[in-house]
Amino acid sequence: MGYLKLVPFIFILNLFGPTPTFSDSSSTSNGLSEIPKRFLQYAKNPELFDWMVGIRRKIHENPELGFEEVETSKLIRTELDKMGIPYKYPVAVTGVIGFIGTGRGPFVGIRADMDALSMQEMLEWEHKSRIPGKMHACGHDAHVAMLLGAAKILQEHREELKGTVVLFFQPAEEGGGGAKEMIDAGALENVNAIFGLHVAPNLPVGEVHSRAGPIGAGSGFFEAVISGKGGHAAIPQHSVDPILAASNVIVSLQHLVSREADPLDPQVITVAKFQGGDAFNVIPDSVIIGGTFRAFSKRSFMQLQQRIVEVITGQAAVQRCNATVNFFTQAKIFYPPTINHQGLHDYYLNVAGDMLGSHKVKDLKPVMGSEDFSFYQEVIPGYFFLLGMENETRGRLESLHSPYFQVNEDAFPYGAALHASLAARYLLEFQPEVSFSEVKKHHDEL
Ligand SMILES: [Zn+2]
Ligand SMILES: [Zn+2]
């Protein structure tokens, strides 16, 4: 009887068990510090490097938008099959989840996004996008290649794994909230922690940048229709002018950040869209305005959202107009702020430091951009970092989302080896130790 009760308890403890705590991983005596170096050396092997480059170029030539990553997903599954890595598919339409290791806990996730952007590549090169109007301009092709690289390293070293690495190939990062869909499909079940990276064109290759706490803002979009009464522009007294009302609305929205927000709590409201009227002598019936709002905390974000409605409707009423406000993203959801777990940050500093040298592991200034990795971090401890790509001798790389965006493939061994090391060492360092007396104590309480 006691045994029957004991088993489920241990199981529960493994799934939802203690927030990760780490032993001091600076200990060199047990060989932990050698893992990142060994994996980097392995990833630099020309055979593995060329294979990753080949995969990335293939994906780059055939970019697919969010939830349409059919060929990309197929390519990933073909490579996992060749390596003998089992996976679940489909998850969130095109997503793939692979498993390497013992099949038992702890479970640690490493993630790549697969989607491209709806834009035309302008750079002429051998592996330019073959699909007009679609381009991998955010480096997600590189993310997939590096995660497959990590899979190869981990599969080769699977005997050393003390748990299970879960590979997340997720769709639709760019506005589609693919991470949220993966979570809704149960992808995080049993997973204790998750790591993700993004290529950074303006940081040196061989360096990684991140920090504990918020690194990216929560993001939402709004659109408002401000309605008045159209008429002759020379007889304004017979009209209700929505252009003037919208102008006052836009000015008033600026006061939310400048007068209502804590100056030490960064927030942004930008009206980026203003559509109304198309004649010199006609006051239009209505005007559409729209834009984005950003904040680092959920509280500030929700406060902004509420005040945007109040200011738009209230200020429009001052000018005798009506206003309706809609909030949306492509996926009808807001992206939460990207917040890195403190315990995982300390752990990452050790692992990345052991691989690259601590002088190459640098602090990151938070940005107002957003990243859907944040959805994972709302559920379990997660850590996100930037992987440098710049090689000064070859000139500056264009920014993410530029039609001239380029990836420096020399960064791939670092990305693959970091993914693999963070996962493998996590399993070694985060072994929940449950003493018999502890179990018995809880058991008696059940
Ligand atoms: Zn992007
Ligand atoms: Zn991206």
How far apart are the CA of 426 and the centre of ligand 1, in A?
A: 28
Mean pLDDT for 193-205 is: 98
How far apart are the CA of 340 and the centre of ligand 2, in A?
A: 17
How far apart are the CA of 439 and the centre of ligand 2, in A?
A: 44
14-60, pLDDT tens digit by residue?
333 344 444 444 444 468 999 999 999 999 999 999 999 999 999 99
How far apart are the CA of 206 and the centre of ligand 1, in A?
A: 22
What share of the chain has pLDDT > 90, as a percent? 85
Widest distance between CA atoms in the chain: 89
Mean pLDDT is lowest, of 9-13, 71-75, 222-226, 401-405, for: 9-13
| Residue 304 clears pLDDT 50, i.e. is over it | yes
How far apart are the CA of 401 and the centre of ligand 2, in A?
A: 8
> Can you name the residues that pair with 405 across neighbouring β-strands?
none
404-422, pLDDT tens digit by residue?
999 999 999 999 999 999 9
What tokens were used for 395? 């000139």
How far apart are the CA of 218 and the centre of ligand 1, in A?
A: 15
Q: How far is CA 157 from CA 57, 64, 190, in A?
A: 26, 32, 22
Q: What is the pLDDT of residue 442?
A: 42
All domains in the chain, ordered by first residue: 22-216+337-429 (3.40.630.10), 222-327 (3.30.70.360)
DSSP string, 65-84: -TT--HHHHHHHHHHHHHHT
How far apart are the CA of 137 and the centre of ligand 1, in A?
A: 7
258-291, pLDDT tens digit by residue?
999 999 999 999 999 999 999 999 999 999 999 9
Q: What are phi and psi of 286, to 5 degrees?
A: -150, 165
Measured distance CA(145)–CA(57) in Å, rounded: 9
How far apart are the CA of 238 and the centre of ligand 1, in A?
A: 47
Q: What is the pLDDT of residue 30?
A: 62
Relative to the alpha carbon of 144, which ligand is closest?
2
How far apart are the CA of 324 and the centre of ligand 1, in A?
A: 30
The answer for residues whose C-beta is within 8 angstroms of residue 179's C-beta and 6 or more apart is: 111, 170, 173, 372, 373, 374, 375, 376
118-158, pLDDT tens digit by residue?
999 999 999 999 999 999 999 999 999 999 999 999 999 99
Q: What is the pLDDT of residue 354?
A: 98
| Residue 195 clears pLDDT 90, i.e. is over it | yes
CA 305 vs. chain centroid, Å, equals 22
How far apart are the CA of 174 and the centre of ligand 1, in A?
A: 6
| Residue 433 clears pLDDT 70, i.e. is over it | no
| Residue 390 clears pLDDT 80, i.e. is over it | yes
Relative to the alpha carbon of 401, which ligand is closest?
1
- Work out the pLDDT band at 331, boundaries 50, 70, 90: low
Relative to the alpha carbon of 141, which ligand is closest?
2
With CA atoms as reference, report the closest residue to 153 among 78, 73, 47. 47
**Cα three-residue angle 341-343-346, rounded to 5 degrees:** 110
Measured distance CA(392)–CA(394) in Å, rounded: 5
What interhelical angle do 140-156 and 412-429 show, nearest 10?
Answer: 50
How far apart are the CA of 138 and the centre of ligand 1, in A?
A: 5
Note residues around ion ligand 1 (Cβ under 5 angstroms).
Answer: 138
User: What is the SS3 assignment for 173?
Assistant: coil
How far apart are the CA of 188 and the centre of ligand 2, in A?
A: 21
- Work out the pLDDT band at 106, boundaries 50, 70, 90: very high
Residue 282 carries which DSSP code?
E
92-105, pLDDT tens digit by residue?
999 999 999 999 99
> Can you name the residues that pair with 111 across neighbouring β-strands?
168, 196
Instruction: Determine contact, residues 43/413, Cβ cutoff 8 Å.
Output: yes
> What is the signed CA dihedral for 79, 84, 88, 93, rounded to 10 degrees?
10
DSSP string, 179-225: HHHHHHTTTTTTEEEEEEEEEEEEEETT-EEE-SEEEE-EEEEEEEE
How far apart are the CA of 241 and the centre of ligand 2, in A?
A: 41
The pairing of beta strand 286-295 with beta strand 267-275: antiparallel
Measured distance CA(345)–CA(173) in Å, rounded: 23
Note residues around ion ligand 2 (Cβ under 5 angstroms).
Answer: 138
Measured distance CA(168)–CA(97) in Å, rounded: 5
How far apart are the CA of 138 and the centre of ligand 2, in A?
A: 5
Mean pLDDT is lowest, of 51-55, 340-344, 366-370, for: 366-370
CA 253 vs. chain centroid, Å, equals 28
Residues in the chain, overall count? 446
How far apart are the CA of 184 and the centre of ligand 1, in A?
A: 22
Instruction: Determine contact, residues 136/117, Cβ cutoff 8 Å.
Output: yes
HSE-CB at 144 with a 13 A cutoff on CA atoms is 35
With CA atoms as reference, report the closest residue to 196 among 113, 127, 257. 113
